[in-house]
Chains A and B, each alone.
Chain A
Amino acid sequence: MGTKRLREDDGEGKKPSLIRNKERRSEAFAQLKREKKKAKKLRIKARDAREKECIELGEAPPPRKTPRTIENTREPDETIVRPDDDELLADIATDEFAEHFNRDKSPKLLITTCRKCSKRTFKLILELQSVIPNTEYYKRNKRSLKQLVKDATEQDFTAIVVIHENRREPDGMVIVNLPEGPTAHFRLSNLVLRKEIKARESDSPSFSINHGRPTSHLPELILNNFTTSLGHRIGRWMFASLFYQDPNFRGRRVVTFHNQRDYIFFRHHRYVFEPKETKQKGEQKKKTAVIARLQECGPRFTLKLLSLQHGTFDTKHGEYEWVHKPDMDTSRRRFFL
């Protein structure tokens, strides 16, 4: 106690959190903030001036510091794939998805639900059908997934997508690649359906549009940050094999699977290039520049990989290529995809 009092009485230069009087504490804290802000402004100003000076002198400006984030301080992983790896190329040539990427087979999807499902799942399926081309909805009834896999392979489907739900909210997705597997099981969360995508006032003017309606053009595909060998298998092959390989660029539709810290974000957009006039301050002249604008078409959801199974769906005797276990989460800087 004694020491604390002493510190309090020291007055300025001490931590504001140690001050007991609230008014004085908040005052001190505000003061501290102001000073920090000021110092930062000065620092940036000095840096900009230095850069300008360097450019004028024709020198290379000093390198800017990169902020430390969880992504760029990721634990080193030996499974990260290198593009010049000859074994990778040999593997790609012989794996389950080779037929699709050699253009011997075009994707044909079967989409169903769990046994009892509600309105929201149906809506999601309806919207997924508009996102992924050549998708057929089949009623699940009481068929088991194993039976479904059999039937679908007979009818030359290349993949099955099953949406599961819990308490009337879709919460899981199983993708089975046919005829040989693999099977991936994802947790599905943060679902926003098309109609729920609305412009907010806080959005910047270039984004203040409500949802769009997708056309029937074949979409382009963006796969971000799938780096490890597991990531490649999930992103590059599993997701990519659901879509046709030659997109219709006229349609300006993009489907994105963006991986960040092992969470895969699914987005569906339409883009447009617009000439836009901008005024510049001093010269009073109007400049026209081409600007890309985005309109989201929905749905929007997040996936998290739970397991990747070798072969088609079989929980009893199946063999897993990768299963997430709690003891793997040893560090928040360790990622698998």
Chain B
Amino acid sequence: MPRTSTLEPPGCPAQLRAICCDALGFVKVVEARGENGAENGPLDVVARWGQPGAGISAISYSNSSNRLAVARKSGDIEILESTDGSICAQLASLNLDAKERENDAISGLHLFREDGPCGQSVLSCSRNGDAALRTFGDEDAPSPVSRWNVCKSGEVLSMRVHNSENVASFGGNRVELSLWDLESSSKVWEAKKPRPNNIGLVSLPYVTASTFLLRDDHRKLVIGTGDYQVRLYDVHAQKRPVVAVTFKESPIKAVAEDPDGFTVYVGNSTGSMASFDMRTGKLLSGFKGKLAGSVRCIARHPSLPLIASCVWIGLDRFLRIHDIRSRQLLGRIFLKQPLVAVVFDDQAKTSEEPLLTASQEQSQGKRKQIENEVDYMDKEDDEYEEEKPRKKKPKKHKKPKRKQAGKDDEATDLAEDESPAKKLKELKKLKRKQNGETSEPKKKKIKDTTSEKPKEKSNEKSTNKKKRTREE
């Protein structure tokens, strides 16, 4: 007898609540419901808010106030209560011209925390780069509080506000990634064009998705580009990307960060999803789940080790939930409409689980845990101050001086090595003893190669000299 049924995914944890918005104008609340108090259950649409017609272009969710901001394609913004979907405030479009409104949909939206520096307000950015900070709490305040233009030409596709709510990043098609201070509404930093390639062509900026890598530091930004790349920018270090990795052969459409501070989840327009380690730029894992359409939005659950990927349009009008640890598909639900964005409503915080980082979750044995901790310490503390200059230096000094430069680097490294690095070495020694020198840590390898190369070169030189003498 052939298999006539599909394999059912195992189900999601019962305290899960996700809010999903679609291009037709509906806001749908999806919950996992375990039968008879079971821990896991299939996904189900619990509520549907809104009317068809006024399509949604962007949403934002504020965890502290349990409110949801929804931007319609017409340019209007609605603030909804995330518990029952009732509208508590409405902001009309800033565009007075009806024709312009259609072309100038809101591409980025952020609802501020109530206790944050901006209070009850919303930051929106339209495709033309018209950013506006508006309040909806008190009527006396001027509306908008501030309004500025992010770019002269091009199309803004992504806007993110950092967790501290002081800084926002903007980027888009022909709009280079830039950081703006929200208080003074002035540009703080702007990325630089990438270097021309071997033919001499410079690719135009095409930022499709962006996110801040760390919660407490706004200086590390991860973006996805239309040129299939995932890039890490470090405002502190340089204006060009620190790490750039290409992922498959279609534009990246969604990027989400993990609270562990280095893992990034990436989705592209042909429905591939993967996670990257942004310290090294290495692909950690891909996610399976029969994704067939463009990934529009990825959301990471704040407390549980889950990500929801909301896959856009077509047959794939699906919401999918993956486990980060096993990378298994836990549940999926067909939501009938082309989806735009998804957020996790963490209101039902029943779990007392501490915040797990992906690296810790993936580790199984003690040894691995040690390794991770070491890596973490190492990279977190030293990487961005130590490693980058090292990468840079050989570029500055050209070939003839390379040998010296390498030596200098090592020397400086040793000088800079402080307590964490010493600990690291000790731990590594221990590990090597345990493993029987099978698995050598990466950093050591890099050093080895740098130290070896000049030696080889010198050898070559000496052989060349010998040859010459022979010829003579």
Contacts and interface: CB of A to CB of B under 8 A. Distances in A.
A244 B122 CA distance: 48
Nearest to A308: B314
Given A91-B24, A91-B336, A321 B294 contact: yes
A21 B26 CA distance: 73
A322 B318 CA distance: 12
Contact of B270 (A233, A323, A328): A323
Nearest to B314: A321
B198 interface: no
B3 interface: yes
Interface in A70-84: 73-76, 78-79
A87 B337 contact: yes
Contacts of B314: 229-230, 233, 308, 310, 320-322
Contact of A333 (B4, B250, B334): B4
A250 to B, nearest CB: 39
A331 interface: yes
Contacts of B205: none
B57 to A, nearest CB: 14
A331 B293 contact: no
A327 B3 CA distance: 17
A175 to B, nearest CB: 15
B24 A327 contact: no
B253 interface: yes
Contact of B313 (A75, A228, A310, A328): A310
B317 A229 contact: yes
Interface string A301-337: 0000000101000001111111111011011011010
A333 B312 contact: no
Interface residues of B, number: 33
B261 interface: no
B1 to A, nearest CB: 9
Looking at chain B's contact residues, the main secondary structure is: loop
Contacts of B290: 327-328, 330
Contact of B315 (A318, A322, A327): A322
A331 B337 CA distance: 26
A75 B5 contact: yes
Contact of A73 (B2, B26, B315, B338): B2
Interface string B1-28: 0111110000000000000000010100
Contacts of A60: none
A75 B270 contact: no
A289 interface: no
Nearest to B317: A229
Contact of A323 (B4, B292, B312): B292
B226 A317 contact: yes
B53 interface: yes
A183 B3 CA distance: 34
B293 A322 contact: yes
Interface in B15-60: 24, 26, 52-53, 55
A94 B312 contact: no
Contact of B336 (A88, A93, A233, A325): A88
Contacts of B53: 90, 94
Contacts, number: 98
A275 B402 CA distance: 96
Interface residues of A, number: 36
A85 interface: yes
B253 A230 contact: no
Contacts of B247: none
Nearest to B55: A94
Nearest to B54: A94
A321 B334 CA distance: 14
A94 B25 CA distance: 11
Contacts of B251: 316-317, 319
Given A73-B4, A75-B6, A328-B292, A321 B315 contact: yes
Given A233-B314, A318-B269, A325 B292 contact: yes
A331 B3 CA distance: 8
A317 B294 contact: no
A233 B317 CA distance: 13
Interface string A139-183: 000000000000000000000000000000000000000000000
Contacts of A74: 4
Nearest to A337: B315
Nearest to A81: B336
Contacts of A319: 251, 253, 269, 294, 312-313
A88 B266 CA distance: 31
Interface in B254-303: 269-271, 288, 290, 292-294
B59 to A, nearest CB: 19
A335 to B, nearest CB: 11
B363 to A, nearest CB: 28
A264 B433 CA distance: 64
Contacts of B6: 75-76, 334
B271 A323 contact: yes
B206 interface: yes
B26 to A, nearest CB: 8
B234 interface: no
A327 B55 CA distance: 33
Nearest to B296: A319
Contacts of B338: 321
A76 B290 CA distance: 15
B94 to A, nearest CB: 24
A91 B288 contact: no
A183 to B, nearest CB: 12
Interface string A60-73: 00000000000001
Contact of A75 (B4, B253, B294, B334): B4
A171 to B, nearest CB: 22
Contacts of B2: 73, 333
Nearest to A229: B315
B5 A76 contact: yes
Contact of A79 (B5, B269, B313, B334): B334
Given A79-B315, A79-B334, A91-B337, A320 B293 contact: yes
B316 interface: yes
Interface in A109-127: none
Given A75-B6, A321-B315, 6 more contacts: A87-B24, A93-B52, A320-B271, A321-B294, A322-B316, A324-B292
Interface of A: 73-76, 78-79, 85, 87-88, 90-91, 93-94, 228-230, 233, 308, 310, 316-325, 327-328, 330-331, 333-334, 336
**What 4 A-B pairs are tightest by C-beta distance, nearest first?**
A321-B314, A90-B52, A230-B315, A322-B314
Interface of B: 2-6, 24, 26, 52-53, 55, 206, 226, 250-251, 253, 269-271, 288, 290, 292-294, 312-317, 334, 336-338
9 contacts: A73-B2, A75-B3, A88-B336, A229-B336, A316-B226, A317-B269, A318-B269, A320-B314, A321-B314
